[in-house]
A and B are shown apart, each in its own frame.
Chain A
Amino acid sequence: MNAADTGFVLISAMLVMLMVPALALFYGGLVASRNVLSTTMHSFVLLGVGALLWPLIGYTLAFGPDIHGLIGGLENIMLAGVGKEPLNGGSIPALAFMAFQCMFAALTPALISGAYAERMHFQAMLVFSTLWLLVVYCPMAHWVWGGGWLMQMGALDFAGGAVVHMSSGSAALAAAIVLGKRSTLGRRAGLPHNIPMTVLGAGLLWFGWFGFNAGSALAANGLAANALVTTHLSAGCAILGWLAVERWHTGHFTVLGAASGAVAGLVVITPAAGFVEPWAAVVMGLLGGAVCYGGIFLKRVFNYDDALDVVGIHGVGGVLGALLTGVFACAAVNGVDGLLYGNPHQLWVQFVSVIATLGYCFPVSLLLLKLTDRLFGLRVPLEKEVTGLDISEHSESGYQI
């Protein structure tokens, strides 16, 4: 047991927890004022769902003893055997690791909510998020981090490019397709109502992401420092990457563009944070900002309404990050080389992990959405959508003006 490691991971868990309300602000500012509470709730309530499901069964499905590389066994159900003592000779209490992962489990389904914002029934959202957490997130976490087949194959995902971002991006695409377009799409009534709120949210996400990425080192050591530095450099440079392409394309530097670029940079560096050197994070950030700017056009090309660009930023950024990890990984950082250091095989492994993640998460999310739709109805009627979900679903207004 190591006190510094334990303290660092506990604080990192708190930082990741902060990302949930940060996401609520980020998304909340991007919707119309009549949906600000509904969108806030889509993130905030998942702290509750995660707090219930993760200790109950989620943790053991993800990190219980491996069963054929596919899922964790039920030995740690209701936190059996997860206590103050370290697991497998580690340096932190099993409970600290469980708490850290519990925050990830709350945040990841919340990311999806950007796709179904402004038109989904709250009750259906709760049911879908619960099912998704158990059927999609837990297996993904097991495959990549819990000793599952992707981990055995050597796929690199330091803090959740596949588990968190590609998975939520895939589910977001499924949700946008199943739910259909918002009635306000392309009209003034559908514009963001509070960009400063969104920028504040992006800033707090950035802050929390230090816990997310550096904390994934699970120790207060040089690797954590490397992850914190790469995280910061990528986020900052992605602002510049996004703004440069935006200036070229529209002639303007928007503030929403700067905030979106920062989040894109954070997504792209997530799988790589503990595998690449700082200079590579600069390149990944610049590229990430530019590529995710392109990512937001996917919804127009393929004609679906991913309301707050979860596919364009988390999906595209997640894929890009996973692949670039296979390019820039450097053995001097964490023992694995990528393409650039003479190991093209790693890029292939990363490619397989991308295909496997999308190939599992998208169809299964689609099925879960269809199932929830059959049972509870996903979409609110037009009249309630026009009134706004704050009043029609929650009987409250965000603002009294």
Chain B
Amino acid sequence: MKVETSMKKVQVILRLETVERVKEALSSIGIGGATLMEVRGFGRQRGHTEIYRSQRMEVDFRSKMMLEIVMEEEKVDDAIKIILENARTGSVGDGKIFVLPVDNVIRIRTGESGKAAL
């Protein structure tokens, strides 16, 4: 299979409350598809404590959202800029952005591949 090297997957860990804003801003630069996942994780932001009948339970993994977007390499810098603008609150726990190479994309309905399938 032909390997396309000019596409990237941008994987963004977000606060629950910034997801909508980020998605709308991304749409405005022509990004037309993304996958949203509810995830739990830990980082610099500390967990919280729950108490049930005096039994304390440390919750180390916090709820976050993960947005995955595959896009043309040229759009990555703009996308990152927009995500930073819309997802940043300035407090610990704003999340992270990972950029990964993508070998290929195939649209299942038509069998198209590469950028045509984005």
Contacts and interface: CB of A to CB of B under 8 A. Distances in A.
**Same complex origin of A and B:** yes
Contacts of B2: none
A260 B57 contact: no
A277 interface: no
Interface residues of B, number: 9
Interface residues of A, number: 16
Contact of B53 (A186, A188, A257): A257
Contact of A188 (B51, B54, B57): B57
Nearest to A308: B53
B50 A296 contact: no
A256 B53 contact: yes
Contact of B52 (A192, A249, A293, A297): A192
B57 A246 contact: no
A30 to B, nearest CB: 8
**Best-buried of B50, B54, B59 by chain A (most CB within 10 Å):** B54
Contacts of A249: 54
Interface in B41-89: 50-57, 59
A3 interface: no
A133 to B, nearest CB: 28
Contacts of A256: 52-53
A250 B54 contact: yes
B54 A297 contact: yes
Contact of B51 (A186, A252, A293): A252
Interface in A286-312: 293, 296-297, 309
A250 B52 contact: no
B50 A191 contact: yes
Nearest to B53: A296
**Best-buried of B50, B53, B54, B59 by chain A (most CB within 10 Å):** B53
A199 B111 CA distance: 53
A254 interface: yes
A149 to B, nearest CB: 37
B54 A246 contact: yes
B57 A296 contact: no
21 contacts: A186-B55, A188-B57, A188-B59, A191-B52, A191-B57, A192-B52, A246-B54, A250-B51, A250-B56, A252-B51, A254-B51, A254-B52, A254-B53, A256-B52, A256-B53, A257-B53, A260-B53, A293-B54, A296-B54, A297-B54, A309-B53
Interface of B: 50-57, 59
Interface of A: 186, 188, 191-192, 246, 249-250, 252, 254, 256-257, 260, 293, 296-297, 309
Given A254-B53, A309-B53, 18 more contacts: A186-B55, A188-B57, A188-B59, A191-B50, A191-B57, A192-B52, A246-B54, A249-B54, A250-B51, A250-B54, A250-B56, A252-B51, A254-B51, A254-B52, A256-B52, A260-B53, A296-B53, A297-B54
